[in-house]
Structure 1
Amino acid sequence: MSQQGGRPTGPDDDWWAQLYDDAAQDTGPAPAPDSLDDRFASAADALTDPPAATPDPTPAPAPAPAPEIPAQLRRTAPEAPGPAHPTGSPPAQAGSGPPTRDAEPTALPLADPDDLGDLVADTVLDGARYGACTVRAASVRGDAARHRGEPRREALLTARFGTGDHALVLVAMASGARATPGAHRAAAEACQWIGRAVGRSHARLAEDIRAARRGDLKSGLHRLTDRSLGKLRATAAEQGVDPEEYAAGLRCLLLPADPGCRTRVFFGVGTGGLFRLRDGDWQDIEPRVTDAAGEPVVGFGSTPAETPDGDRSTLDLGVPAPPSPFAPAPEASRAPFRFRASVARPGDTLLMCTGGLADPLRGEADLRRRLAARWSGAAPPGLAGFLTDTQVRIKGDVGYPDDRTAAAVWEA
């Protein structure tokens, strides 16, 4: 114990502070002989050896009993505080068992001072409201990448092409190949290429969506996906990288801004999930492999399928689909093109996500119930609320440590 300003400090500082403060506030008359201070003094005198003196024939009085310390001044060890979360309040959790890793970012990815543009933010958040729908989108680095100091290998793009009721909103998300150094670059490039392709054809795409030309949309978007992911294979060839390493899964939503059109178009390649929350119940509406439109896409090792007329142009879009310069990949590595066009109802919530959220949503009933309760309200959550929802911690040994990218559409 040490002294600071005449006042003791130590592990029981709070107890001493209370005692000293109480004494400093006591400005009344001197205490009576039977007061607490005199009782402490009598006890101290009784334990002190008396000075040498002539013996007194009068017997010395019996020592006073040790005083009893009032309960409010008794010295007790403070209770040990419980574990505190770094941000003050732990994130929501679902499932059973403890989380496998910390809920907050720990290690930053390694930076190159000559290529700072290659850095990827831990979290991306965006949103908008057009027509009859409200969009929320987020991409978050997974627990495993945060722990190892690796970059987020998933990319997110939200873009509006056109103006007024003829505008078209694109939400695209891509996942780079697992355990490859350039995964984040491949994912970002896939989003950029599909964004350019859709943006250049947005007027015709929006018209096809309003006119419900499902066949044209399916074939045309297949071509755009072929072209975009084929660019990744060309980039891999330029860099001398294995095309299977510089690849990405791609998932997209097209949302017309026209409030009179409730058609929502999903297309893409790779794993993930497409879900619909209707009347409080989750529906898994991910297109099946048998729903694939023709051959696998170029970006996954296949050559593009020809149109019935024998040319290699996208139906009604005039976008050429170049053949792949690479030999076809093994059948097991090919991924089918997926497409779904559906009509939304007021009150629906459409969720498109990568495997980092799709897997726990399919496997954890507690997570489904939690998100259903939070997203079935009269109004969609704000950006911060949506980000919190997408980061719900899943307890247990599985952990679900991958990146999570999700986009949800609320229908008014």
Structure 2
Amino acid sequence: MKQQGTGRGHEDDWWRRLYGDGGGAGGGAAGDTGASDAPDTLDDRVASALRALAATGRAAPAPGDAPERPERPGPATGKPPARTAPPPPPAFPTPPAPIPLQATGPGSRPATPRRPVPPPRGAPADPPPSAPPPDGPEPGPLPAADPAALDELVPDTALDGARYGSLTLRAASRRGDLARHRGDIRRDALLTVRFGSGRHALLLVAVATGPPAGAGAARAARDACAWIGGAVGRSCTRLAEDLRTDQRDALRSGLQRLTDRSYGTLRARAEERGLPPERYPAALRCLLLPADPECRTRVFFGVGPGGLLRLRDGAWQDLEPTAPDHLPRRAAPADPGEPPPAAAGRRTDGTRAPGEPFLFRTAFARPGDMLLLCSAGLAEPLRQDPAFAARLAAEWSLPRPPGLTDFLTAAQLRVEGHPKDRTAVAVWES
């Protein structure tokens, strides 16, 4: 026991001298001074440990290895064997590598990248859809543009209005659901112009629709409106006088001549563009409205499909001169002095498409009437869907004409199975 205690005291003395423990730890061997004159800084302690390791000839353990336990002194010598000091802590510890985070739960596994499958050779990359989406009339992609022909573009919607004397005018043209979904251009065109001033002013509203197939449909519709507008503008004085004096025969022949010339110009333009003339017509329908409040004669003329209706006492009356027999309609009773609806004689001299008659009709405006001129995109659901016709009649039978925004909202009410462009021109009489 005495030998073991002596060895333990020598061992403690060695550690105290190495690290400057002094007697503060309590419990030293006999003969200890209780203090050490070894330097007591961190650098001095590290240097002392390194000198002890060099004296024993042992290598320093790697960081993180457990320090070796000192060997017990042997019974023969009674001296403690040399003990390896624990390695000093590294001056700049290296942080461990971060553990990558991994999501858990459904769908947390990374998706395996799939190789794109090329489309078959000759197949279109993105075929146009055949039907508009059922979720609403929101516009889809913009129509493709040619940098050299930006004047070919037309806006999705056109809106206009005016008030003269006893009449209030509202006009709107919007792209159909199918054209919006496909990113096609609007084929309906709208023109609202005034010629002259004061009581002698004459209002012209023109609605045109390009052919359903072939290039240049929108351009054909706009050209038809522009050319008939120019022709009426150059003859506005004579036309306004015929309206005030109720010269219906003169109006019919004069407007037919102007329409024929406009269609002849359309066909000449088609030949210049290398298109077949028979594929370049446009349905054209017009209203002539005198600004004079004492003249209540309204004149309709044009060519091609569409609608001319009158809303009187909350009910629709079809004023179309050549309304198809297979579509239900309520014939309008003739006002005093108002001729029955009829179509003018057909011309086959190439100025209009064969089989397309020139349409002409005059109507007498009563206070409270509403006269509606529209393209086929609105005329078809009005004639074929009684619920839609009744809803529009309720919207437009209010005591005051609607504002521009309300008129557009009603005109673009969706009807299933009718995705065409829509153009509507309404004239309220007071």
TM-score (norm. length: structure 2): 0.64
- Structure 1's 240 and 121: CA in aligned 2 closer, same or farther, altered over 3 A? same
Match of 1:171 among 201, 205, 221: 205
Gap runs ≥5 in structure 2: 1-131, 324-340
CA shift at 1:288, angstroms?
Answer: 2.2
Any idea what SS the aligned residue of 1:159 has?
Answer: strand
Inter-partner Cα distance in structure 1 for 2:401 and 2:284:
26
Whether the 8 Å contact between 2:165 and 2:293 is mirrored in structure 1 is: yes
Tell whether 2:282 aligns with 1:261: no
Q: Which residue of 1 aligns with 2:125?
A: none
Code of the residue aligned with 2:424 in structure 1: it is A
Superposition misfits of 4+ residues, deviation over 3 angstroms? 98-102
Match of 1:204 among 232, 238, 260: 238
Q: Superposition pairs for residues 170-249 of structure 1, below 5 Å? A: 170-249=204-283
Inter-partner Cα distance in structure 2 for 1:370 and 1:170:
28
Code of the residue aligned with 1:135 in structure 2: it is L
Q: Which residue of 1 aligns with 2:327?
A: none
Any idea what the Cα deviations from partners look like across 1:305-359, whole Å, max 9, x if unmatched?
xxxxxxxxxxxxxxxxxx75xxx96xxx420000001111000000000110000
Inter-partner Cα distance in structure 1 for 2:319 and 2:274:
39
CA shift at 1:122, angstroms?
Answer: 0.4
CA shift at 1:244, angstroms?
Answer: 1.8
Q: Superposition pairs for residues 108-123 of structure 1, below 5 Å? A: 108-123=142-157
Any idea what SS the aligned residue of 1:255 has?
Answer: strand
- Higher relative contact order, structure no. (Cα contacts within 8 Å, ≥ 6 residues apart): 1
Inter-partner Cα distance in structure 2 for 1:105 and 1:173:
22
How many residue pairs match? The answer is: 282
Inter-partner Cα distance in structure 2 for 1:270 and 1:225:
12
Any idea what SS the aligned residue of 1:244 has?
Answer: helix
Q: Superposition pairs for residues 82-93 of structure 1, below 5 Å? A: none
CA shift at 1:295, angstroms?
Answer: 2.1
CA shift at 1:100, angstroms?
Answer: 3.7
Gap runs ≥5 in structure 1: 1-97, 297-301, 304-322
Inter-partner Cα distance in structure 1 for 2:425 and 2:297:
16
Tell whether 2:321 aligns with 1:287: yes
Inter-partner Cα distance in structure 1 for 2:420 and 2:135:
12
Code of the residue aligned with 2:420 in structure 1: it is D
Code of the residue aligned with 2:294 in structure 1: it is G
Code of the residue aligned with 2:355 in structure 1: it is R
Any idea what the Cα deviations from partners look like across 1:93-124, whole Å, max 9, x if unmatched?
xxxxx974631111110001121111111000
Tell whether 2:308 aligns with 1:274: yes
Q: Which residue of 1 aligns with 2:362?
A: 341
Any idea what the Cα deviations from partners look like across 1:120-141, whole Å, max 9, x if unmatched?
1100000001121000001100
Any idea what SS the aligned residue of 2:219 has?
Answer: helix
Tell whether 2:422 aligns with 1:388: no
Q: Which residue of 2 aligns with 1:352?
A: 373
TM-score (norm. length: structure 1): 0.66
Whether the 8 Å contact between 1:155 and 1:174 is mirrored in structure 2 is: yes
Any idea what SS the aligned residue of 1:207 has?
Answer: helix
Whether the 8 Å contact between 1:276 and 1:282 is mirrored in structure 2 is: yes
Q: Which residue of 1 aligns with 2:429?
A: 411
Any idea what the Cα deviations from partners look like across 1:192-216, whole Å, max 9, x if unmatched?
0000000000111011011110100
Inter-partner Cα distance in structure 2 for 1:378 and 1:102:
30
Inter-partner Cα distance in structure 2 for 1:291 and 1:222:
14
Whether the 8 Å contact between 1:236 and 1:246 is mirrored in structure 2 is: yes
CA shift at 1:377, angstroms?
Answer: 1.2
Whether the 8 Å contact between 1:99 and 1:393 is mirrored in structure 2 is: no
Q: Superposition pairs for residues 74-153 of structure 1, below 5 Å? A: 100=134, 102-153=136-187
Identity in percent: 62
Inter-partner Cα distance in structure 2 for 1:342 and 1:285:
9
Q: Which residue of 1 aligns with 2:418?
A: 400
Whether the 8 Å contact between 2:346 and 2:355 is mirrored in structure 1 is: no
Code of the residue aligned with 1:215 in structure 2: it is D
Any idea what SS the aligned residue of 2:366 has?
Answer: coil
RMSD: 1.6
Any idea what the Cα deviations from partners look like across 1:41-71, whole Å, max 9, x if unmatched?
xxxxxxxxxxxxxxxxxxxxxxxxxxxxxxx
Code of the residue aligned with 2:380 in structure 1: it is D
Any idea what SS the aligned residue of 2:425 has?
Answer: strand
Whether the 8 Å contact between 1:361 and 1:367 is mirrored in structure 2 is: yes
Any idea what SS the aligned residue of 2:279 has?
Answer: coil
Inter-partner Cα distance in structure 1 for 2:407 and 2:399:
15
The structure with the larger Rg is 2
Code of the residue aligned with 1:409 in structure 2: it is V
